[in-house]
Structure 1
Amino acid sequence: MNPKNQRKRKKTALITGAASGIGYELAYIFALNDYNLVLVDRMAHKLAEVTDQFCKKFGILVKPVVKDLSVQTSPEEIFNELQQEDIKVDVLVNNAGFGIHGLFNETNLNTELEMLQVNLVCLTHLTKLFLKDMVKQGEGKVLNLSSAAAFQPGPLMAVYFATKAYVLSFSQALACELEGTGVTVTALCPGPTESAFHERTGIAGAKQIESNNMMDAQTVARIGYRALMEGKTVAIPGLKNKLLAEIVRFTPRKLVTKIVKSMQEVK
């Protein structure tokens, strides 16, 4: 990405986890709307393919950044690299994340620590780094990928659900703090979505996956993008997910937790 050419365009969006799933679809929408892109992903080959595709199809400037966001130093490295190249980020999309399924006392600690780093720490770190310039400029947008999982505890995916609850709470608090600054923060809270997430997590055979008419990643991305552009604080794709998010507020927590556990069980 040439910084001089980058300045000719109005906006640049940085998207993590951009090589597949919701991240890819969000990147596609931003490209369609004439944004330059900084695409971050750990999968170098897929990221190169996406970069080449977008450059040819949209004629935009795309900077690929191959990073494993479970590594603690990654956020600073990304920020410093963009600073050195004089690339201004107008929109930050913290999309990267993953889950793990199983009883907490049996799951792998190292995997869960990596999950905390990606889903929660890295998201917070990147937001901290890029938000300062946005506030200084008086404009900017942050989209954080939370989940419908954020609204209740999640037995058999206890750590994942907890990380998404953090993302939702963090996003809502920041949105309030930033009122009047020209900067907005949006939390996107999709339900089960068609992607490779379920296979990697190990819940492809769970009741809620097999019985759920999952929304496709493209639809989720469109809803998220529209909410971001409108400055909404929380976006929950799908009427069913919206209703469930409300219902759990008025249902005894112990009952909600048991219901979620039964839905998380793999046949």
Structure 2
Amino acid sequence: MKSIKGKTVLITGASSGIGKAFAFEAAKQGANLILTARSIQKLQDIASQIMRRFGNTVHLFIADLSKKDAPADLYRQISEKGLKTDLLINNAGIGKWTNFLDESSASYEEMLELNINSLVKLTQLVIPGMLERGTGGVINIASTGALQPCPYVAVYCASKSFVLSFSEALYGEYYHRGITVTAVCPGNTATGFQAIAGADTKGMAADTPEYVAKKGLEAFLKGKSFKITGTVNYLQSFLPRLLPRKSVINVVSGMMKKRVEGVRKYGLEVSVNNR
């Protein structure tokens, strides 16, 4: 796919952050949108802005993709409206910065259902139609945390490692059949959760959601299997290849421990939540 002009793009977790930025960037490039999240009010506000600025068609569907049956139900609703998905952007996800034992098993189950299972289910549902049309694709939002073990963010980063590996594997299966699957790996992104949580991120470079969305779509349209956004993030991605794994674990542990200490200091929780 060389352009998304006139195509229909389905974006999950579209009510804020990177998902919202993808909605505006896709609309700017001439795509019609299917947006889904849990908040109808936020989606309606975004849809109104997009239709006013760009004139694109925007369809809204409310879904909590941390529920096991939600992906199938969402796909059924979209199909009943006679809509097809040319590009799926699996953005919805949640993460927690904390000691592993400080979160409940229910919290981790919700995280894995949203970050992994719903992503796999939606991808499996949309690819057959793309194969019939001979074109299409999927952008899966992973993370630079997918590139190495991350103490204090263990489950979240492990889930993003799955997303990266899964995406690249599907790229290998379907690229020569006209389907591109691209994993986008953002680093620290200025979505606002750090400030609210009182996390210690001083001195850390932060990209904007708009930058991540723009570079993610560029990589997809160039047929890339993955994209690490930001020059600093790209350079840092070489560390796991250059240093012994134990050294990498120690470095990341020191970085993430500061965030956990910030949480304790302010009595708050650091989380990423793009639903």
Tell whether the structures are fold-level matches, with TM greater than 0.5. yes
Aligned residue pair count? 255
Kindly state the Cα deviation for residue 19 of structure 1 after the two structures are TM-superposed.
1.1
Kindly state the Cα deviation for residue 131 of structure 1 after the two structures are TM-superposed.
0.8
Alignment counterpart, residue 242 of structure 1, candidates 234, 242, 253: 234
The runs of 5 or more residues in structure 2 that have no matched partner are 263-275
**RCO (CA 8 Å, sep 6+): is it higher in 1 or 2?**
2
Say yes or no: does 1:167 pair with 2:163: yes
Amino acid at match of 1:233: S
Q: Give the match for residue 205 of structure 1.
A: 199
Write the deviation string for residues 42-72 of structure 1: whole angstroms up to 9, x where unpaired: 1121111111211222111111111111111
SS at match of 1:248: helix
Contact 1:100-1:112 within 8 A present in 2 as well: no
SS at match of 1:64: strand
Q: Give the match for residue 215 of structure 1.
A: 207
Q: Give the match for residue 38 of structure 1.
A: 34
* More displaced stretch, 18-27 vs 242-251: 242-251
Cα distance in 2 for residues equivalent to 1:53 and 1:99: 28
Q: Give the match for residue 115 of structure 1.
A: 111
Q: How does 1:41-60 map to 2 (within 5 A)?
A: 41-60=37-56
Aligned-residue CA RMSD in angstroms?
A: 1.4
Say yes or no: does 1:154 pair with 2:143: no
Write the deviation string for residues 69-97 of structure 1: whole angstroms up to 9, x where unpaired: 11111100111011111101100000111
Kindly state the Cα deviation for residue 250 of structure 1 after the two structures are TM-superposed.
2.4
Say yes or no: does 1:187 pair with 2:179: no
Kindly state the Cα deviation for residue 197 of structure 1 after the two structures are TM-superposed.
4.1
Alignment counterpart, residue 257 of structure 1, candidates 249, 264, 268: 249
SS at match of 2:139: strand
Q: Give the match for residue 221 of structure 2.
A: 229
Cα distance in 1 for residues equivalent to 2:253 and 2:122: 32
Alignment counterpart, residue 25 of structure 1, candidates 2, 21, 24: 21
SS at match of 1:254: helix
Cα distance in 1 for residues equivalent to 2:46 and 2:173: 35
Cα distance in 2 for residues equivalent to 1:162 and 1:211: 25
Q: Give the match for residue 135 of structure 1.
A: 131
Contact 1:168-1:187 within 8 A present in 2 as well: yes
Kindly state the Cα deviation for residue 27 of structure 1 after the two structures are TM-superposed.
0.6
SS at match of 1:23: helix
* More displaced stretch, 12-21 vs 246-255: 246-255
Alignment counterpart, residue 70 of structure 2, candidates 57, 74, 91: 74
SS at match of 2:199: coil
Amino acid at match of 2:136: G
Contact 1:138-1:183 within 8 A present in 2 as well: yes
Q: 1:141 to 1:79 in 2, by over 3 A?
A: same
Q: Which stretches of structure 1, 4 residues or more, deviate above 2 A after TM superposition? A: 196-200
Q: 1:74 to 1:197 in 2, by over 3 A?
A: farther
Q: 1:249 to 1:101 in 2, by over 3 A?
A: same
Cα distance in 2 for residues equivalent to 1:199 and 1:129: 37
Amino acid at match of 2:10: L
Write the deviation string for residues 198-255 of structure 1: whole angstroms up to 9, x where unpaired: 467x5x413xx22202111111111101111111111111122112212212211111
Amino acid at match of 1:218: E
Cα distance in 2 for residues equivalent to 1:43 and 1:129: 23
Write the deviation string for residues 73-128 of structure 1: whole angstroms up to 9, x where unpaired: 11001110111111011000001111011111121221211111111110111000
Contact 2:175-2:181 within 8 A present in 1 as well: no
